[in-house]
Copies of this chain bind each other. A is one copy, B any other.
Amino acid sequence: MTKIAVAKGDGIGPEIMDAVLSVFQAAQVPLEYEFVDMGKWVFDKGFSNGMTSEAQQTIENLGILFKGPMETPKGKGVKSINVTARKTWNTYANKRVFQTLHGVDTVFSKAGIPIDVTIVRENIEDTYGGVEHMITPDVALSRRFITRPGSMQVIKYAFEMASKKGARRITCGHKANIMKLTDGLFLECFYEVAKNYPDLKADDVIVDDLCMKLVTRPDTFDVVVLTNLQGDIVSDLCAGLVGGLGFAPSANVGDHISIFEAVHGTAPDIAGKGIANPTALLLSGFSLLQHVGLYDKANMIENALLYTLESGVHTGDFGDRNKPSLNTTEFANAIIANF
C-alpha cells in the first residue's frame, strides 16, 4: 500500500483534512498516512522552515505530501512555509485545475459559459527567489531571474500533461513585449518544447490580454503555462471564475517529491468552528489519487462530490442561502452517502 505524508496545517487545516480523510476512508482508498509536524505552529516552536527534521525526512522518504493550508509567519526576512516547501523540494510545476462545478453559482455558470482551464505555473524562479535590496533608502530593487533549465522543466511538464489529457490547446502567457530577455527566454523554451508535440495547438498570449480574454471568453482556453508571479495572479483570477479559492485545488509537482494542497488560506476567523468548506482540499486529493494511479477511487469520489454539489447540498460559505447549509463533517458525510 502506498504511504503518503500528511500535514494538517494551521487554522481550518485540521478540520478539512479530517473531513477529506474520512471521505477517503469511506471510499476504501488504499493509502497509508504518516502524519507530520509542519505549519506555523511548528515554526512557533522554533523550527525556522516550519517543519521538524523528522517531518522533512518522512516527506523526503515518501515522496508525497498532502497538506492543509499553513499560515505565513510574520516578520522581516521570514519566508512563507508554503513557498519554502516548494523550493526545498524543487516542485517546479504548480498545476491548478479550474472547472465549472454545477451547484456552485458564478456569473459564468449563470451565463452558460463552461470553464475548464488548467494553469501550470513555474513554481520556483522569478521574483520568488526573494533577491531584493534597498539600493538607497528610497530605491528598492528586486531581481527577477528566469533560467532555461527552470523554464524547460515546467514547460515540458505542461506539454506532457496537456498531451496526456488530450488538450485542445496549450497557451503560453507572458510579458515578453516588455521583459524581452526574461519572458523572452520562457517563450523561446515554450516554442522549443512545442516542436515535440506537433499535434497540440500551441500559441502564446500577452498576460494582460490573457486576463482580459479569461474574463470574457474563458471557454477558449485549455492549458495555460506561465512564469511564477504571472501564474500566481492568473491562477487566482481563474479561481474566481469558478467560485473562489474554496474550489481551487493545487498540485506542486517535482521529480522526486510532489505536494498536494488547497490554495486557500487558514481562515483563522472560522477555525475550530467545524464549518469550513473542504472542497478545495478534496479536489486536491483527486489530483493526488490520480498521481498515485488510483484513478477509480478518484473518479468515484469526484462523482460523489459533483453530485452532492449539484443537488444543492453545501457548506455555509456558498450556495443557495435559502437552503440549509451543512457543517464540515455533515458535508463530508453527504458526499459519502452519494458513493
A110-B111, A142-B179, A181-B134 as given contacts; A241 in contact with B229, CB under 8 Å: no
Asked if A132 contacts B182 (CB within 8 A), the reply is: yes
Which residues of chain A from 108 to 156 have a CB within 8 Å of any chain B CB? 108, 110-111, 113, 127-128, 130, 132-135, 137-149
Chain B residues with CB below 8 A from A300, complex form: none
A107-B107, A144-B127, A145-B140 as given contacts; A208 in contact with B180, CB under 8 Å: no
Q: Does A240 sit within 8 A of B, measured CB to CB?
A: yes
Chain B residues with CB below 8 A from A235, complex form: 208
Counting every copy of the chain, the complex holds 2
Cβ of A174 to closest chain B Cβ, rounded Å = 12
Cβ of A48 to closest chain B Cβ, rounded Å = 17
Interface centre among A146, A181, A213 (most CB of B within 10 A): A181
A178-B128, A209-B236, A233-B208 as given contacts; A147 in contact with B142, CB under 8 Å: no
What 0/1 pattern do residues 212 to 240 of A give for CB contact below 8 A with B? 11111000000000000110111111011
Q: Does A80 sit within 8 A of B, measured CB to CB?
A: yes
Chain B residues with CB below 8 A from A181, complex form: 132-134, 140-142
Q: Does A175 sit within 8 A of B, measured CB to CB?
A: yes
From the candidates B139, B184, B245, name the one contacting A212 in the complex (CB within 8 A): B245
Chain B residues with CB below 8 A from A216, complex form: 106, 240, 243-244
Please give me the residue from chain B that is nearest to A213 by CB atom.
Answer: B240
Docked Cα-Cα span, A266 to B208, in Å, equals 16
Q: Does A76 sit within 8 A of B, measured CB to CB?
A: yes
Cβ of A125 to closest chain B Cβ, rounded Å = 10
Q: Does A72 sit within 8 A of B, measured CB to CB?
A: yes
From the candidates B139, B140, B180, name the one contacting A130 in the complex (CB within 8 A): B180
Interface centre among A72, A132, A143, A235 (most CB of B within 10 A): A132
Asked if A211 contacts B237 (CB within 8 A), the reply is: yes
Asked if B140 contacts A147 (CB within 8 A), the reply is: yes
Asked if A141 contacts B142 (CB within 8 A), the reply is: no
Asked if A180 contacts B148 (CB within 8 A), the reply is: no
Docked Cα-Cα span, A202 to B243, in Å, equals 26
Cβ of A77 to closest chain B Cβ, rounded Å = 8
Chain B residues with CB below 8 A from A107, complex form: 107-108, 110-111, 113
Docked Cα-Cα span, A121 to B134, in Å, equals 22
Q: Does A207 sit within 8 A of B, measured CB to CB?
A: yes
Docked Cα-Cα span, A108 to B107, in Å, equals 6
Docked Cα-Cα span, A181 to B209, in Å, equals 28
Q: Does A185 sit within 8 A of B, measured CB to CB?
A: yes
Chain B residues with CB below 8 A from A179, complex form: 127, 132, 142
Docked Cα-Cα span, A135 to B185, in Å, equals 12
A211-B237, A237-B237 as given contacts; A144 in contact with B142, CB under 8 Å: yes
Q: Does A83 sit within 8 A of B, measured CB to CB?
A: yes
Cβ of A240 to closest chain B Cβ, rounded Å = 4
A-B contact pairs, 20 of them (CB 8 A): A80-B178, A110-B110, A127-B144, A127-B175, A127-B179, A128-B178, A132-B180, A135-B145, A139-B147, A142-B181, A207-B233, A208-B233, A208-B236, A211-B211, A211-B237, A212-B236, A212-B245, A215-B237, A215-B241, A233-B233
